[in-house]
């Protein structure tokens, strides 16, 4: 967590046509095109070179999962859009990789923008947009960056044919993808929790600027996660209440479960935010207390010794002692003793004063 | 309250089938299976070794309270689920012990996730999930940890047959269990209140880091309690407005009473949160005041004596007094007196200045 | 206002039957039972020894105001409940004296829990629960503590027969009681306002811990008042919108007026809360400013004199001046003068530096 | 703005009849009674001695604007109320001059409580209640204090007959009065804005307690304005949605415009509140920075010179240098030089330390 | 961003007729009148001297975009209003250039007040009101200040005939103008984000008042942007849900897209507000820490050396050493050594004390 995570957004110059499609600058190279086709009985999985080849294999009697990994090829997306009658604005949202997660209903399919959060190979937290199109017989998932994704486990479940996943429709597949998207927030939150706990332990013993930075980073990360997760709540809520027929009743129960996860994540994020705010208060209070204590010691020692030092300075003066009025104390028989008694009395008086002030 | 209470949550790796059932790592040993069967006339109570034996005894003409204490045996839960047609997702929620309290309606039963809060034998505050299934003739309660629970008093009321509890249906039993779950928050809140009051008393007299830690702990505990109690509001609200017929009209009056308790608990928690925030402010303000006072004393003493010490230092210099221009004061007849008058004047001037500044 | 006011709540052990009736521990002695019976033409008022005697006198053709002052006699309440078909849960709420104000509708009567706030004879602020049952021909008011109440003026109005109060039904009487309950908050708020104003005046001149405590106490009192008044809003709202027929149209206009009072009280409380928060900020800022000013004076004096004192110290050293390299300055002709010029230059340089820093 | 503005409220003792009418203590002298009667063709304007004389002149075929300036004569108000069938509670609200602005619907008229805000002749900000009764053919405006009002410009528009105002009904007149009431908040807000801007400019250069007081006063004034304006939103909202027929469709467009003004005022107030909060933060942060800087200078100078002064003190000690072990340095050939080298080294070491600490 | 941006509002004296039209004081010179007329086949574009000439060219069978750049000529606006039956209140809103963005529905057209935000040629951020009237065949855009606007790119798209813009109706043109208005907020936000990031980097290393000012300016700018963007949400929401027929179904999809942009902007603004608040906390905490550290060093050095200096002062006193009781230490054989041992012991004791206090 060495780097602060910025709030991302990109935009086209004001007044540009909303339908102009621009591949995000970060994208590079052609995307990987994969098709997984299955029903209760069989499963077919292949990677294709061109989108035309893939679309030829498309079979509406089975569930078709078309996965496009990378946004480097706008032409390929346009062909896909033409085939599935995807609205140009939806396509533009796919390419604008800093969309807010959302659900759009079109005539015969849903368009869902989600956000994956994961630690990449260098252990840096990444946010990656994933766009889903859900039709009666197909799910198209379009990922922002080629490479890492969080769907591998779902592919394995489909291949193995274990459980019920192969026997349910495209809506269940979409649910599974969204569920995987949401659930990978938990390990991230666990990390945040650990770092908050670490701060908590160190804070009272010795408040350090390092705890402060950790706290601020946690706060900032929570802000980003919150921005990402909140819109999901709405997405699932819409899906659960869907009446278009695209979502079957059995799947809705699963979506409800996923909605619960989202609620729990929001809940944890809010609690962590409260905790970090509390720790910030604790930090300042604790520092104030330490400063107060340091000042107290400084003050006590200074206030006792400063007058004494002055006194010692006085009797170190070189006034001509031969003149009768000058520094007669120096020649007193008990002069030195008198000096120490005076010092002692002053010091004790000060201590009594401090005691009364409750500073000792 | 030595230990801070962490926000708990556990999760399965993203992409795992939602229906995979895993016993929580903390669970150990087989659960205790108890059946209490009663109607207005008679009551039967027994502990069973196996769930099959228990289910054989099940009698839909009476109220059946099946209590499963401990989550160690997934097989047993599966058999139970099969018998009562419990949805696998509900079963998964039973096993995921960090669920948010909630109510799910299924065709012929309700599934309620609640949370018990209690001080265990070592006086440590524990949060324990309790899952309830409420059907027309049965209540199944599944507790997270074997041992301690808060239902003993209800068992006694059933056994003794006192009051109306034996004459009412399963819904009343569910109410009684939920009511017990909610009501044990009151002693916890009382504890929090006591600790806030203790801080309050000590704070103004002498702000200490101990008060600060107490405050933070109280704040944190209130955060946890708030997370636990808020969803109960929704649960009771749903139950009161239920139209499925599972909840009888007489029971709804009792649920309304319980809803009032929940509202009162929320109310108290919010008030305590306000108080702790106010005390935190008070702590910082009080420290600032003390620091200010200490600084004032230090400044007054320093500012008076520092110039005087300089003066004493000057007349302690060893410039060759034989040269006419060097330190003629030393040979003045009233030199020493002059020194003291100078010191006195300076000190009085300072005091006047401080008085004017309102620092004395 | 010497004592802090705690947030009160009492509770029964979790799992206890909701219907067990326990007299609050503070209650002592039997309650005072009073009946006021009136219609447009006549009025009857008497105190009774037993509830049976009182109930015998009950006349449904008139308005009956049964006032029970004190909760010491559970038996008496049970008889009353039996007579008016009061639900046991309502009775339990009457005895649980830390209820949140609320309105419950039963078949033929309303149950209202209100809260009186007043300064008692020792000028201590008291919160006292008052429970009202409003039927077609009766109002039962049950007060927590024997003695002080805020209804005396209403009794006088009834006795004198002045105004319209004798010509209207039980609903108007209930309104009058609730109105009196709400309106006695105004003098309390006036007190709070006075104490805030007092703090305001003292704060800028001389921030003291006393102002701080006053502020905290005001804050806390406002918290309690807010908790008490908010639920009243809901109560009046329900009464105004009532369609059961128990509340007549003319009375609803009066209830609306009372609702306005509640709104105004809430408004004032919120404003006062804002003010206290603002004053707390002002307190800290003002202290910071004073500390800053003190530090500035200390720093200026110290920074000017510390180097000079060092210099004086140097020329007070006793190095053997006979050795040619040791302290030749002491034997310079203008040594002493040179010393003062050096000191002056240093001091002026410092002052210029401070001036540039804007510290003078 | 020398005086802080208190939150005003007055109240009658709890339990007093809601209908008892008391003239506010501040009121003095009889009110000024004015009638302006107009339609599209002609206008009549006169001041009357008694309300009876005025009412005799009342002509329902024209628009009648009865203006009562001052609350000193309860009898007059009663006669008015009798004539227009005004509910006694409304009359009580007229006399209770600390009402929250509100709208009440009665059978054939509306009762509106508004609040005028203006700077009086001594440039002190005043809040004055104005009560409006709007019927089909009349508008009655009752002002709290005799003298200043904000309606003069409307009278002139009516007299001149310019624009459409004379051709529209009583509802348009009521709109015009309310609009004038609302619009005079703008200059007040402008004043607040100016004072905030002034604070802003001075704050960073030199944080002073004067800015602090200005800020607090602005905050407090905003609080009062907010309390006054918020309920107006509701009033206009009700009027716009009115279906009683008292408000004509054309007037509703104007009311919508006025509603926009209210929204804008609220908007500005909220923005100013945010700004003052931000400036308060800025003040404290800026002070902290200055304190920190002052401390840094003090610390650097002290830490460098305190050890040196000690050293100089050591060599000023009078140990008998004849004894071989006592202070041999004093007799070293390079003793004095050695002293200065030591001092220089120490000072440089300190400076390096401070540099490393980033304090220089 | 040298200048702070004030909250703008202007107003007419209270009581002025709502319909009086006053050209804003800033306006100067006659407006530029441009007409762009187009349909799918052809496009006509011309600048006119007078509004009459322009209106003559008006052709309801095409889409007419009338752009009036500058508010300097009220007469021209009145003629326009007469031609298109624009309500005088709408015209007044056009001239009152500090309107809150809003949408008003009139019988056959919509009136929309929007706000453009852009950096002008001197790189100063400007807020400029733009009023739109949308009818079946026309869009009238009225800009506050002559010169700069954000619509150039739209004109180019129309001229080039690229894309679909020429084939859609006036509603699509209005959408395009609003979209351009909204989208130019993104670069402004990007600037804010950059300045926040710059503060973030500098803050921990060395908290300076410059960061503070940057933060406050960012906060203030966000406040202004928030005020501007929030009402747009309502505008788009209304347009999307429009049922008047003025907005076609295809355009609604585009408006939904624009609504998403507004939501994203609000989202970013809220996140930035959270970040600036967090950075303000960080600033204060970081300063507190630095002050604490400085104080610690000062205290350690002072507390160690102040007693030692006193000691040195003592042995520099000139008490007559010939008297037996005066300063016998000076004549001790190991006196000087004893002094150093004493000093060392004291210093070590202090260091141990500090170590124990955890201050080293």
Q: Does C335 touch chain D (CB under 8 A)?
A: no
Distance in Å, alpha carbon of B19 to nearest chain C alpha carbon: 34
Q: Does B104 touch chain C (CB under 8 A)?
A: no
Which has the closest alpha carbon to D104: C163, C254, C245, C235? C254
Q: Does D341 touch chain E (CB under 8 A)?
A: no
d(CA E358, CA E350): 12
Nearest by CB to residue B316, choosing from A288, A313, A357, is A313
Neighboring chain A residues of B93 at a CB cutoff of 8 Å? 257, 260
Contact D7 C193 (CB under 8 A): yes
Which has the closest alpha carbon to A67: A43, A32, A38? A32
The model's pLDDT over E48-105, given as tens digits with 9 standing for 90+, comes to: 999 999 999 999 999 999 999 988 888 899 999 999 999 989 998 998 888 889 999 9
Nearest by CB to residue E285, choosing from A224, A283, A293, is A283
The model's pLDDT over C211-267, given as tens digits with 9 standing for 90+, comes to: 888 898 899 899 999 999 999 999 999 999 988 889 998 899 999 999 999 999 999
If 0-12 CB within 10 Å is exposed, 13-18 middle and 19+ buried, where does residue B99 land? buried
CATH topology of domain A182-294: Methane Monooxygenase Hydroxylase; Chain G, domain 1 (1.20.58)
Contact E13 D325 (CB under 8 A): no
Neighboring chain B residues of A181 at a CB cutoff of 8 Å? 14
| Test the D interface: residue of E309, E321, E336 with most D CBs within 10 Å | E336
pLDDT of residue E48: 93
- Residues 225-254, chain D, touching E (beta carbon < 8 A): 253-254
Share of chain D above pLDDT 90, in %: 49
For C230-298, the DSSP string reads: HHHHHHHHHHHT--SSSS-HHHHHHHHHHHHHHHHHHHHHHHHHHHHHHHHHHHHHHHHHHHHHHHHHH
First to last CA, chain A: 44
Minimum CA–CA partner of A320 in chain E:
E318
Question: Structure tokens of C80?
Answer: 């009353």
Q: Which listed CATH number (1.10.600.10, 3.40.640.10, 3.30.460.20, 1.20.1250.20) goes with B16-159?
A: 3.30.460.20
Give the model's confidence band at E346: pLDDT under 50 very low, under 70 low, under 90 confident, else very high. Answer: very high
Mean pLDDT value of segment E240-259: 90
Q: Hey, is B225 helix, strand or coil?
A: helix
Q: What is the CA radius of gyration of chain B?
A: 35
Neighboring chain A residues of E285 at a CB cutoff of 8 Å? 212, 280, 283-284, 287
Minimum CA–CA partner of B203 in chain C:
C213
pLDDT of residue C3: 36
What order do you get walking across the sheet with A43-48 strand by strand?
A43-48, A32-38, A63-69, A138-143, A125-134, A110-119, A102-105
pLDDT of residue D335: 86
Minimum CA–CA partner of B302 in chain C:
C298
Q: Does residue D157 contact residue D236 with C-beta atoms inside 8 Å?
A: no
Q: Does B206 touch chain A (CB under 8 A)?
A: yes
Pairing state of beta strands D138-143 and E32-38? unpaired
d(CA E74, CA E72): 6
Neighboring chain D residues of C271 at a CB cutoff of 8 Å? 7, 223-224, 227
- Residues 117-176, chain C, touching D (beta carbon < 8 A): 150-154, 157, 162-165, 176
The model's pLDDT over E206-239, given as tens digits with 9 standing for 90+, comes to: 788 888 888 988 999 999 999 999 999 999 999 9
**Residue A130 dihedral angles phi and psi, to the nearest 5°:** -130, 125
For B90-102, the DSSP string reads: HHHHHHSTTPPPE
Q: Hey, is D80 helix, strand or coil?
A: helix
**Residue C35 dihedral angles phi and psi, to the nearest 5°:** -125, 130
Nearest by CB to residue B284, choosing from A190, A253, A288, is A288
Q: Where are the domains of chain C?
A: 32-285, 315-356
Contact C288 D293 (CB under 8 A): no
Which has the closest alpha carbon to C315: C287, C283, C338? C338
pLDDT of residue B4: 43
**Residue C132 dihedral angles phi and psi, to the nearest 5°:** -120, 135
Nearest by CB to residue B337, choosing from A257, A267, A325, is A325
Q: Establish whether domains A182-294 and A295-356 are of one fold.
A: yes
Pairing state of beta strands E63-69 and E138-143? parallel
d(CA D149, CA D181): 9
For E267-324, the DSSP string reads: HHHHHHHHHHHHHHHHHHHHHHHHHHHHHHHHHHHHHHHHHHHHHHHHTT----TTST
The b-or-e profile of B105-122 (16+ CB within 10 A means b, else e) is: ebeebbbbbbbbbbeeee
Distance in Å, alpha carbon of D80 to nearest chain E alpha carbon: 26
pLDDT of residue B299: 93
Mean pLDDT value of segment A187-203: 87
Placement of tokens 């957004």 in the chain = A9
d(CA D240, CA D259): 9
Architecture of domain B184-298: Up-down Bundle (1.20)
Instruction: Find residue C44's DSSP bridge partners.
Output: C37
d(CA B286, CA C284): 9
Mean pLDDT value of segment C92-116: 90
pLDDT of residue E6: 65
CATH topology of domain A295-356: Methane Monooxygenase Hydroxylase; Chain G, domain 1 (1.20.58)
Share of chain D above pLDDT 70, in %: 96
Pairing state of beta strands C138-143 and C125-134? antiparallel
Contact E303 A301 (CB under 8 A): yes
The model's pLDDT over E260-301, given as tens digits with 9 standing for 90+, comes to: 999 999 999 999 999 999 999 899 988 899 999 999 999 999
Q: Does D204 touch chain C (CB under 8 A)?
A: no
Neighboring chain D residues of C281 at a CB cutoff of 8 Å? 280
**Residue pairs spanning D and E at CB distance below 8 A:** 183
Placement of tokens 């409003």 in the chain = C134
pLDDT of residue E103: 93
For B261-272, the DSSP string reads: HHHHHHHHHHHH
Neighboring chain D residues of E100 at a CB cutoff of 8 Å? 260, 263-264, 267
The model's pLDDT over D124-164, given as tens digits with 9 standing for 90+, comes to: 888 889 999 999 999 999 998 887 778 888 998 888 876 77
Give the model's confidence band at B25: pLDDT under 50 very low, under 70 low, under 90 confident, else very high. Answer: low
Q: Does B306 touch chain A (CB under 8 A)?
A: yes
Question: Structure tokens of B202?
Answer: 């000590």
Q: Does A320 touch chain E (CB under 8 A)?
A: no
DSSP state of D37: E
pLDDT of residue A177: 94
Architecture of domain A9-159: 2-Layer Sandwich (3.30)
E11-166 under CATH 3.30.460.20, yes or no: yes
CA D331 from chain center: how many Å? 78
Question: Structure tokens of C272?
Answer: 């006062």
Question: Structure tokens of C257?
Answer: 């007026």
Q: Measuring CA to CA, how many Å separate C112 from each of C99, C240, C250, D356?
A: 11, 14, 20, 71
CATH topology of domain D11-160: Beta Polymerase; domain 2 (3.30.460)
The model's pLDDT over A265-308, given as tens digits with 9 standing for 90+, comes to: 999 999 999 999 999 989 998 889 999 999 999 999 999 999 99
CATH superfamily of the domain spanning D184-295: Magnesium transport protein CorA, transmembrane region (1.20.58.340)
| Test the D interface: residue of E10, E230, E294 with most D CBs within 10 Å | E294
CATH topology of domain E184-296: Methane Monooxygenase Hydroxylase; Chain G, domain 1 (1.20.58)
Question: Structure tokens of C17?
Answer: 């039957």
Q: Hey, is E226 helix, strand or coil?
A: helix
Q: Does residue A101 contact residue A115 with C-beta atoms inside 8 Å?
A: yes
Q: Which listed CATH number (3.40.50.2020, 3.40.50.720, 3.30.460.20, 1.10.3720.10) goes with C32-285?
A: 3.30.460.20
Q: Hey, is A26 helix, strand or coil?
A: coil
Mean pLDDT value of segment D285-290: 90
Question: Structure tokens of C198?
Answer: 């007092």
Q: Does B289 touch chain A (CB under 8 A)?
A: no
Minimum CA–CA partner of C296 in chain B:
B299
Element (DSSP H or E) covering residue C154: helix C152-160
Distance in Å, alpha carbon of A317 to nearest chain B alpha carbon: 4
Contact C183 D337 (CB under 8 A): no
Pairing state of beta strands E32-38 and A138-143? unpaired
Neighboring chain D residues of E20 at a CB cutoff of 8 Å? 163
């Amino acid at each position: 967590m060495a780097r602060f995570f910025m709030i991302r957004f990109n935009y086209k110059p004001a007044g540009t046509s909303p339908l102009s499609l621009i591949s995000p600058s970060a994208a590079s190279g052609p995307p990987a095109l994969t098709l997984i086709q299955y029903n209760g009985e069989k499963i077919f999985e292949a990677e294709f070179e061109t989108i035309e080849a893939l679309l030829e294999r498309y079979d509406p009697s089975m569930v078709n999962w078309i996965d496009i990994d990378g946004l480097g090829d706008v032409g390929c997306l346009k062909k896909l859009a033409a085939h599935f009658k995807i609205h140009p604005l939806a396509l533009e949202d796919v390419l604008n990789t800093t969309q807010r997660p959302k659900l759009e209903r079109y005539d015969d399919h849903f368009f869902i923008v989600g956000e994956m959060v994961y630690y990449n190979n260098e252990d840096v937290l990444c946010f990656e947009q994933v766009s889903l199109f859900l039709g009666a017989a197909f799910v198209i998932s379009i990922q922002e960056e080629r490479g890492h994704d969080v769907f591998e486990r779902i592919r394995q479940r489909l291949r193995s044919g274990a459980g019920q996943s192969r026997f349910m429709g495209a809506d269940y597949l979409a649910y599974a993808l969204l569920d995987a998207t949401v659930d990978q927030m938990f390990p991230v939150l666990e990390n945040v929790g650990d770092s908050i706990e670490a701060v908590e332990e160190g804070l009272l013993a010795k408040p350090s600027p390092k705890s402060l930075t950790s706290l601020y980073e946690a706060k900032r990360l929570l802000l980003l996660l919150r921005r990402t997760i909140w819109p999901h709540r709405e997405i699932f809520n819409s899906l659960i209440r869907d009446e278009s027929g695209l979502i079957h009743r059995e799947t809705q129960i699963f979506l409800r479960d996923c909605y619960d996860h989202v609620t729990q994540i929001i809940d944890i994020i809010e609690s962590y935010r409260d905790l970090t705010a509390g720790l910030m208060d604790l930090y300042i209070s604790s520092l104030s207390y330490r400063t107060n204590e340091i000042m107290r010691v400084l003050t006590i020692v200074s206030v006792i010794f400063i007058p004494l030092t002055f006194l010692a300075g006085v009797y170190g003066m070189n006034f001509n002692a031969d003149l009768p009025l000058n520094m007669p104390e120096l020649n007193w028989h008990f002069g030195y003793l008198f000096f120490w008694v005076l010092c002692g009395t002053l010091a004790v008086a000060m201590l009594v004063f401090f005691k009364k002030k409750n500073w000792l």
